[in-house]
Structure 1
Amino acid sequence: MVSDSSSKPPISRVLAHYYGLNIAASRGRQKVCCPLHADENPSASVSVDTNRWNCFVCSISEDSFDVIMREEGCSFAEAKERAHREFGGGSSDVPPDVPGEPSGRVHQRPGPGRGSGSIRAGVRRFGATWS
């Protein structure tokens, strides 16, 4: 499914809300210090044109909804609803919940070393191990 980027909140507003980054509303890419790791030299860039940001050190690339989902720990549908409430757009095409239908969260059966079985997106901090 291809998403319509016009329904997404501006990446500059989302990054300002969650990280306090001040992004100019101009065209093109703007270099910034990554808010997810200690950064002395800018290692991330924000593109107002494509409504995305990425960090070359963290190997992360996100749009507005990805940031909201990671920061709020919510599903895509919930992120669109929060975007609509917080930023004034983004949930016009969210269908209402249907009883008995999956919530959209990613689940995996518990197994050795898997804990509860829920997979939650996140960023691994440098120096941290996966175990």
Structure 2
Amino acid sequence: MSKPSIREVLESYGFDAIPDADRWVKVRCAFHGERNASASVHPKQNRFKCFACGMSGDSYDIIQAQEGIPFSEARQRYGTGDEEVRGGVHRQSGRGVHSKTRTGRRTFRSGIR
């Protein structure tokens, strides 16, 4: 199973079109609404990082945070990279929380459902 493209995942959650580049590209983060670019995406590495809200990771990390589902379900739903990522940004007020993943990596979990 291949990962879904970070470009397709982010664009499905309201990001402007992201060029297919082999470098970090500055983008405006759609997860917290802003005027200036505070996030970066590396399409070839399938990575995303927002320096304002702390959201970061690969396509599965973004899907998990946005849809509130575990990795196994995100992989089952979107693992081939063929399925369209559905959804949108649904935020609740509240502060984010840091948590550890199964691999021990720290991730930022905000009040996103």
- Which TM-score band applies after superposition, normalised by the shorter structure? 0.5 to 0.7
Deviation at 1:124, TM superposition (A): 5.0
2:2 pairs, out of 3, 7, 20, with 7
Between the aligned residues of both structures, percent identity stands at: 37
User: What amino acid maps onto 1:29 in structure 2?
Assistant: W
Whole-angstrom CA distance in 1 between matches of 2:14 and 2:4: 15
Matching of residue 81 in structure 1 with residue 76 in structure 2: yes
Once the two structures are superposed, residues 26-48 of structure 1 have per-residue CA deviations (whole angstroms, 9 ceiling, x without a partner) of 21111111111121110001001
User: What amino acid maps onto 1:78 in structure 2?
Assistant: E
Query: What's 1:3 paired with?
Result: none
The RMSD of aligned alpha carbons is 2.5
Change (3 A) 1:20 1:60: closer
Query: What's 1:35 paired with?
Result: 30
User: What amino acid maps onto 1:60 in structure 2?
Assistant: M
Q: Which runs of 5+ in 1 are unaligned?
A: 1-5, 90-105, 107-120, 126-131
Query: What's 2:60 paired with?
Result: 65
Query: What's 2:109 paired with?
Result: 122
Once the two structures are superposed, residues 30-84 of structure 1 have per-residue CA deviations (whole angstroms, 9 ceiling, x without a partner) of 1111111121110001001211110111122111001111111111010001113
Whole-angstrom CA distance in 1 between matches of 2:41 and 2:69: 23
Whole-angstrom CA distance in 1 between matches of 2:65 and 2:111: 12
SS in 1 for 2:49: strand
Q: Which has the higher strand share?
A: 2
Whole-angstrom CA distance in 2 between matches of 1:38 and 1:17: 15
Rg: which structure is higher? 1
Q: 1:81-100 residue pairs with structure 2 within 5 A?
A: 81-84=76-79, 87-88=81-82
User: What amino acid maps onto 2:56 in structure 1?
Assistant: S
Deviation above 3 Å: which 4+ runs of structure 1? Answer: none
The one of the two structures with greater contact order (alpha-carbon pairs below 8 A, sep at least 6) is 2
For this pair of structures, how many residues does the alignment match? 89
SS in 2 for 1:27: coil
